[in-house]
Structure 1
C-alpha cells in the first residue's frame, strides 16, 4: 500500500491510499480518482513528507477525544453523510451489484441500498445504465 498527497484542478488537497504506484496511475488515467470536495477527476500528486519513525523518538499517543471528534468541516460533513446513508438505506454487502441490477430491471421493488462491489462489477453497472455512485467512505461491514 502507498499513500499519496493529491490536489485537484480546483486546488483542493486530499490524501488517498493505493495498492501500488501503478494502481494509482491506472485509476487516475481512467478518471476514477476524484476529489472528495468537488468531484474533479483531474488530480496530481504533490510533495509529501514521509512518515518516518526513528528509534530515539516515538510518536505522541493520540488523545481519545481527538479521535472521536471530526478535525475539519469536511470530516463533519462526511460523518453526517455516513450517518444518513446508514440510517436510511439497507446494507447489502458484496451483493450490491446484484441487488442494484435486480431493482433496475424491475425484478424487485426499488429501495435505497448501499454495499460493496468489485470495480469490474461497478463498471458494468454504469455501462448498463444502472444509477450507482461511489461512497466517499468505506461501509461498516455488518454481520448477523
Structure 2
C-alpha cells in the first residue's frame, strides 16, 4: 500500500491509499477519484514534504529540544538529571551487596532476624516485591538499571 496526499481543484486536501503508483494513475485516468469534501473529480497529488531523517553523526543545536527528541537525542536537562540520578544510585550501592535472583530470600532472612541486616540489591519480580512490602519488608526499585557483577567487562 502507498499513501498519497491528494487535493482537488477547489483546494481541499485529503489522503488516498493505493496498491501502487500505477493503481493511482489508473483510477485517476478512469475518473474514479473524487474529493470527499466537495465531490469534485479534478483530483491530483498534492505536494508533500519528504521525510528525511537527520544524518547519524549530526547533532541538534543546543536549545532545540523538539529536534533533539525527534532525532532520538535526549534534551540536555533530562540527560543531566539522569546522570545525577545514576551517580546518586551508584553511591548508594557502593556498600551494598549484589545478591542476584536471591533478593527476596535474603531480604526475608534479614527481616526475620535469621542473618544480620546489611544493604543488598538484586533481582526480583514485581509480584515478589509486592509480597515483601505486604510483609513489612522495605523494598524499592532501582531507577537506573544495574548490570550484575558477573556480566561486567
The TM-score with structure 2 as length reference comes to: 0.48
Q: For residues 1-144 of structure 1, what are the structure 2 equivalents within 5 Å?
A: 57=53, 59-61=55-57, 72-143=79-150
| 8 Å Cα contact 1:70-1:76 kept in structure 2 | no
- Structure 1 unaligned spans of 5+: 1-53
Q: Note the residue ranges of structure 2 that are not aligned, 5 or more in a row.
A: 1-49, 60-72
Aligned length: 88
Task: Report the secondary structure of 1:139's partner residue.
Answer: coil
What do the CA deviations read for 1:87-144 (whole angstroms, capped 9, x no partner)? 1211111111110010000001110011111111101000000011111111211228
Q: CA deviation at 1:61?
A: 3.6
RMSD (Å) for aligned C-alpha atoms: 3.0
Structure 1 or 2, whichever has the larger Rg, is 2
Could you list the structure 1 runs, at least 4 aligned residues long, displaced by more than 3 angstroms after superposition: 54-59, 69-73
Q: Output the TM-score relative to the length of structure 1.
A: 0.50
Q: 1:80 Cα shift?
A: 1.5
2:150 partner SS = coil
Q: Are the counterparts in 2 of residues 96 and 116 from structure 1 also a CA contact under 8 Å?
A: yes
